[in-house]
């Protein structure tokens, strides 16, 4: 009986770890996307400046 409880606990922990990892991944991707957009805007601004000079 006890081993079944331990298995369930281990599975629950694994699932929560997985959920946390997913959340972290999406946060990182979201940040990376935001940084990418900012980067593109900066590059485009520099490009336009160089062209109009």
Helix then strand then coil, in percent of the chain rounded to 5, is 95, 0, 5
In angstroms, the CA 17 to CA 1 distance is 25
Single pTM value for the model: 0.50
Strand segments, DSSP code E, in the chain are: none
**What does the pLDDT look like over 2-52, one tens digit per residue?**
889 899 999 999 999 999 989 999 888 888 888 888 888 899 999 988 988
Q: Which domain holds residue 39?
A: 1-53
Q: How many domains does the chain have?
A: 1
In angstroms, the CA 28 to CA 35 distance is 10
Half-sphere exposure for 40 (CA within 13 Å, toward CB) = 6
């Amino acid at each position: 009986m006890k081993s079944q409880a331990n298995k369930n606990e281990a599975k629950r922990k694994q699932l929560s770890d997985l959920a946390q990892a997913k959340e972290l991944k999406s946060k990182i991707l979201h940040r990376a996307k935001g940084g990418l957009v900012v980067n593109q805007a900066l590059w485009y601004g520099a490009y336009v400046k160089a062209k109009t000079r």
